[in-house]
Structure 1
Amino acid sequence: MKFKRNKTLDETVVSPSSSTPTNTSSSSTSSSKKRPSSVNSDFDVSNYAIVFEEMMDSKETRDLFYEYLQLNRSVESLMFMNQVEEYRAEYNKKFENVICGENVDKKQVHTKIVEIYSKARGILDQFVFQGGQFELNLAFANKDKIRELWETKVCESFEKLDKERLEVEKLSKIISMLETDTLFGLAMFSVNLDLRFDQFPRFSRSEMLMKFLESKGERFTRAIATDISKGFQLDIRFKPHHLQDSTIDDKFIYFGFTLAEDTPDWELTYSDKKNTCELYQSKTSYVFDTETLKGLRLSKVVTRVPYPIEEVWACFWNIDLHKVIDPMGGAETFKLMDYISPVSEAEGKPNYSNQQVSCCTKFPIPFMKKRDLPITMTAIRDPELNMIMVAGHTCSLIETREDCIPAQLMFYYMFYKVSDNETRFIHTVYTDLKLPLNPSLMLKVIMLKRAKDYKKGFEQQITRLRKEKSTKDGLMDTSQFVDAMKYNLAIEENTKLYPNRSWYNEWLQLREKRLSLNMSDAKSN
């Protein structure tokens, strides 16, 4: 087995299988063909993977992204971000060197406050407050927090300013309230996630971007992208024994965020007409243990469900609904064998709740044996993202069934609250089901059916249950649901052990360090 050391984190990285070479071309059909560059005959744009942060920091590529979003009628988020960045620059220019002491020109400071207050009000009216011309699809709770800050603090303080008797303390207070991240940080975080997860993966594979980079040449492209000409290796932080371990740790949870993100190894193999249901497959076969595994393929389902996260999540944790929605996922045979409550690290392992589950997956293929998948898993809620994650993998705690073939996998189910009436559902699977004949094609067929089943199943079941019995708010009634797998107990106990912890922020900090180092290395070369 081949190993590679990460430059910033002392973790094991598993290399792609030598039997399946990495395809480094772009994922879209139109842009995957190699083109000779008009700028440099040796420059091949398909050898580069654009980085979201670098793309957003470059005015030219950001403007191109804006044009792409306009064509796809989803430009509001980037319009908002652009206006907030303009606001940030103006705010910093006005107040960066302002020290509100007794000798300061208070009337001049007041004039600046009036100007920046007016600009802030314009942005909020257009993008955040109800009825705005470009109202963003934000959760009501977030809108309420922003409105409360604006109306009960900013506006109230602003209206109390007496131009004839300006006080330094009051001027300083309102300047602080109008600070960019204080006022817009919550909304910026939300729209940034939407752009990163929804629009950017399609833009990064678009013909528009490929042609633009060809025209700009290699030097420009290297400044905003990573070179994948020698292959792309996903940062997989595990050793062979992890597929046998009975516990879940921080590294495993972080890996869920890595898989959810777009990378050059993801190939978009299916998208519905509205881009609300997509399937990605890895171009590479990854190997943990060459003695027992042929290669593990990555699959990712991304779908947007037009219902609240509470209802979508309930359809998942209710095992009776889950097996109807995803008949090929093995939920029909799920059986909770044991549940272990989490303990603090000081007390020893496990430091997350542990659901030990027996599962036997069957396929709609004649004469094909079922796959035995003994699973250990946990569930967390990230308060920063307003997201629920179920993370799990096979383990060696449960005896293999005689009528099944033992298989291995890792999986993540992630539920993101996009707004009060929309949920982003991401399901990633890293698996070798030991399929006969053409395993890549068979896995693609299986995952395509599952992707469509999830999209259709969530919507059908929620619609049906709302009609049968709903709450006073019009939501489906879950009061009689039974959480047989103890997903909610896992969330409750993990939250109690780690109150207000954001795994996403921790992962983001590690990722930014690694990305910064990689980009520095690329530019120095």
Structure 2
Amino acid sequence: MPAKTASFDPRNYSVVYEEMIESKESRECFRKYLTNTSLSDETILFLDELEYYKKEYDKSIAEIMEILKLENDTLNNSDSTSSITEFSRPTTFKKKSQLKKVTKQLRRITDKSNSIFNIYIKPSSEKELNIGHIQRELLGKHEKIQEKFENFTKLISEKETLGKSASSVSINDTESSNSSQEGSLDSNESNLYPLCSEIIELLDYQKLFNEVELTVHMDLKMDQFPRFVRSQFLLNFLKEKGENFTRTIAIDSSKGVNVDLRFKPNDLMDKTVSDNHIYFGFTLAEDTPDWKLIQDKKLYQSYCSKTPYVFSSSRLKGMQLFKSVMYLPYSFDDVWAMWVHGDNHIKFDPQAHTDYQLHKYVPPCEEGLKENSVDKPMYALQLLTSGLDYKLPFVKKRYFCMTGTTIKDPFNDMYMYVMHTGDFSQDELPRQENGIDAFALSYYIFYKMYDNMTRLVHVMYGDANFKYNSNLILEMFWKKRTKDIYTKMDKLMNELTEGGTKKLQLSDSVDDQCYDKAWRDNQKLYPNRSWYLEWSKSNREKRKSTVFKKE
């Protein structure tokens, strides 16, 4: 029985997803939680199978290296030190047994990859993952592996049928032509080595499964993990395991948590959008120890930050961040087509869009990569004014002068609309004078989950310049806002799609606020750029510097 400290309270600890998922015991606890709460556990089981595949792949590659007597310096793979992607010098199968052993190892890892595809990837498979467009890409890779391996075994079969049994078979055309003692090779035999190398490269888990692995982790972290870390199920598990174990997967948050804001003091006063604004959106979208759950419904949740943040000490008081996570049972493309049409915003969010007006649109330009000004921005700019009626007694409407942009990340089927207040004059962005200027940072992030489910994450930081700040009032306001937006958006989507039977056409939407135009213009300047992968890589590097005390 693990030793327990009398004062140990697991509620003082915040579990870190990356540490939890790497621990065999806590990972199994997570899987049991998913099963017990009627949530799907195929994602955890897939990760278990993938870990096994990685070990078996590395083992098979080590065997092949030994068989071919290759040194480590013959490997050329920047992504994985464990796989062979290119043989950089002439290599021969000196005995028939070598070819036979290599074939056995290739068949071994090919069969294991087939097992993963048959259970988790193929349509209508036993535990099919909801991975969107990645599924089609993976199936294409799988088909190519099957084709190459069949060709490889076919060439071997033809060789055996022809009865060619030279004492030393060269697998390199150059060596074959220069070495008379090896004898000349027929075309079938000379193709064996390139095929072997290509199959090994195609089976490399970094290239074959890396994208789906990242997607699965993202879905687990954003959907099931937030409920798991707040569950009595996990609390009981940590009480049983004790403080020493808890410290290996969690951090002590009883004295506060440091959150990487990625912001400079003047970021809410800037008139443009930078990489930091986009990266911060990903940070806020995921569940961190600083988020307190204040409303938990089946298809939407509300959160507020435990810590008040100050982005500009000269003009802003410390305020909480607020977040809504909503699950809309409609396709990703339909939800986006609805969002693009400006008039729809008044229907699902009249509170913030009654006085919403786009004053100017500025396309991005290459000069903006160095200058990043309103005239020459690095991202397309949507310059706008907006009003927000808090509907509180004796509280005037607040007005926001904002700059924003929209991106589409090619990696994870995601749109992000980010906007923040800027230090604009009345001449630059006119607004009504009977209200009060306020300051804010806001995100709307759309994720494609699967065919008929879209996740919407809405985050807001705001200083409405109240004479007093009441966290209780603001939490009540945010819970109501989350419920209202979800209810009205769901109703609107149901009407537009005629109960989910009609496909919305983006061409029918009037993009008067330039949401769609902005991401397309940004994509032209940054083709194939994934801000999510950049942010994810930066986070991994930061985690490497975090020390967890192991038992």
Superposition TM-score, scaled by structure 2 size? 0.82
Q: Give the whole-Å Cα distance in 1 for the aligned partners of 2:105 and 2:59.
A: 10
The answer to whether structure 1 residue 142 and structure 2 residue 134 are counterparts is yes
Q: Any conservation in 1 of the 2:399–2:437 contact (CA below 8 Å)?
A: yes
Q: Any conservation in 2 of the 1:138–1:420 contact (CA below 8 Å)?
A: no
- Indicate the residue corresponding to 1:453 in structure 2: 484
Aligned counterpart in structure 2 of residue 277 of structure 1, from 300, 316, 325: 300
The CA deviation string for residues 290-348 of structure 1, in whole angstroms up to 9 with x for no partner, is 554332111111112122222112222211111211222x1221111111221224552
The answer to whether structure 1 residue 430 and structure 2 residue 452 are counterparts is no
Q: Any conservation in 1 of the 2:334–2:505 contact (CA below 8 Å)?
A: no
The CA deviation string for residues 257-287 of structure 1, in whole angstroms up to 9 with x for no partner, is 1111211111111111x3x211111122223
Higher relative contact order (CA 8 A, sep 6+): 1
- Indicate the residue corresponding to 1:225 in structure 2: 250
Q: Give the whole-Å Cα distance in 2 for the aligned partners of 1:370 and 1:396.
A: 19
With 97-106 and 478-487 compared, the bigger mean Cα shift is at 97-106
- Indicate the residue corresponding to 2:317 in structure 1: 294
Q: Give the whole-Å Cα distance in 2 for the aligned partners of 1:229 and 1:201.
A: 19
Pairwise mapping of residues 176-255 of structure 1 onto structure 2 (< 5 A)? Answer: 176-255=201-280
The CA deviation string for residues 405-464 of structure 1, in whole angstroms up to 9 with x for no partner, is 211110111111112322111111111223466632222222222222332233322221
In the alignment of these two chains, the number of paired residues is 479
- Alpha carbons of 1:75 and 1:279: their partners in 2 closer, same or farther (altered >3 Å)? same
Q: Give the whole-Å Cα distance in 2 for the aligned partners of 1:480 and 1:137.
A: 29
The answer to whether structure 1 residue 172 and structure 2 residue 169 are counterparts is no
Q: Any conservation in 1 of the 2:400–2:437 contact (CA below 8 Å)?
A: yes
- Indicate the residue corresponding to 2:106 in structure 1: 113
Q: Which runs of 5 or more residues in structure 1 are unaligned?
A: 1-36
Residue identity opposite 2:270 in structure 1 = D
The answer to whether structure 1 residue 362 and structure 2 residue 394 are counterparts is no
The answer to whether structure 1 residue 307 and structure 2 residue 330 are counterparts is yes
- Alpha carbons of 1:195 and 1:357: their partners in 2 closer, same or farther (altered >3 Å)? same
- Alpha carbons of 1:280 and 1:410: their partners in 2 closer, same or farther (altered >3 Å)? same
Q: Give the whole-Å Cα distance in 1 for the aligned partners of 2:504 and 2:530.
A: 29
Q: Any conservation in 2 of the 1:462–1:476 contact (CA below 8 Å)?
A: no
- Indicate the residue corresponding to 1:397 in structure 2: 424
Q: Which runs of 5 or more residues in structure 2 are unaligned?
A: 69-91, 160-188
Q: CA deviation at 1:125?
A: 1.6
- Indicate the residue corresponding to 2:519 in structure 1: 491
Q: CA deviation at 1:366?
A: 4.2
- Indicate the residue corresponding to 1:348 in structure 2: 371
Question: What is the SS of the residue equivalent to 2:35?
Answer: helix
- Indicate the residue corresponding to 1:124 in structure 2: 117
The answer to whether structure 1 residue 268 and structure 2 residue 293 are counterparts is yes
Q: Give the whole-Å Cα distance in 2 for the aligned partners of 1:320 and 1:233.
A: 40
- Indicate the residue corresponding to 2:493 in structure 1: 462
Q: CA deviation at 1:46?
A: 2.4
Which 4+ stretches in 1 moved above 4 angstroms? 289-292, 435-438
Aligned counterpart in structure 2 of residue 157 of structure 1, from 148, 154, 164: 148
- Alpha carbons of 1:54 and 1:434: their partners in 2 closer, same or farther (altered >3 Å)? same
Residue identity opposite 1:254 in structure 2 = Y
Aligned counterpart in structure 2 of residue 58 of structure 1, from 11, 14, 23: 23
- Indicate the residue corresponding to 2:41 in structure 1: 75
Q: CA deviation at 1:111?
A: 2.2
- Indicate the residue corresponding to 1:28 in structure 2: none
Q: Give the whole-Å Cα distance in 2 for the aligned partners of 1:216 and 1:502.
A: 39
Residue identity opposite 1:109 in structure 2 = V
- Alpha carbons of 1:149 and 1:240: their partners in 2 closer, same or farther (altered >3 Å)? closer
Q: Give the whole-Å Cα distance in 1 for the aligned partners of 2:194 and 2:415.
A: 42
The answer to whether structure 1 residue 477 and structure 2 residue 477 are counterparts is no
Q: Any conservation in 2 of the 1:387–1:417 contact (CA below 8 Å)?
A: yes
- Alpha carbons of 1:410 and 1:110: their partners in 2 closer, same or farther (altered >3 Å)? same
- Indicate the residue corresponding to 1:335 in structure 2: 357
The CA deviation string for residues 122-158 of structure 1, in whole angstroms up to 9 with x for no partner, is 221221111111111121x32221112212x111122
Q: Give the whole-Å Cα distance in 2 for the aligned partners of 1:346 and 1:446.
A: 39
Superposition TM-score, scaled by structure 1 size? 0.85
Percentage identity across aligned positions? 37
Q: CA deviation at 1:358?
A: 1.0
Q: Any conservation in 2 of the 1:40–1:217 contact (CA below 8 Å)?
A: yes
Question: What is the SS of the residue equivalent to 2:424?
Answer: coil
Aligned counterpart in structure 1 of residue 342 of structure 2, from 319, 323, 326: 319
Q: Any conservation in 1 of the 2:342–2:512 contact (CA below 8 Å)?
A: yes
With 431-440 and 353-362 compared, the bigger mean Cα shift is at 431-440
Q: Any conservation in 1 of the 2:279–2:532 contact (CA below 8 Å)?
A: yes
- Alpha carbons of 1:388 and 1:109: their partners in 2 closer, same or farther (altered >3 Å)? same
Q: Any conservation in 2 of the 1:106–1:168 contact (CA below 8 Å)?
A: no
Q: Give the whole-Å Cα distance in 1 for the aligned partners of 2:61 and 2:233.
A: 40
Question: What is the SS of the residue equivalent to 2:507?
Answer: coil
Aligned CA-pair RMSD: 2.4
Question: What is the SS of the residue equivalent to 2:442?
Answer: strand
Question: What is the SS of the residue equivalent to 1:241?
Answer: coil
- Alpha carbons of 1:358 and 1:143: their partners in 2 closer, same or farther (altered >3 Å)? same
With 199-208 and 287-296 compared, the bigger mean Cα shift is at 287-296
Residue identity opposite 1:148 in structure 2 = G
Q: Give the whole-Å Cα distance in 2 for the aligned partners of 1:475 and 1:199.
A: 29
Pairwise mapping of residues 1-40 of structure 1 onto structure 2 (< 5 A)? Answer: 39-40=4-5
Q: Any conservation in 2 of the 1:416–1:424 contact (CA below 8 Å)?
A: yes
Residue identity opposite 2:306 in structure 1 = K
- Alpha carbons of 1:469 and 1:266: their partners in 2 closer, same or farther (altered >3 Å)? closer
- Alpha carbons of 1:288 and 1:181: their partners in 2 closer, same or farther (altered >3 Å)? closer
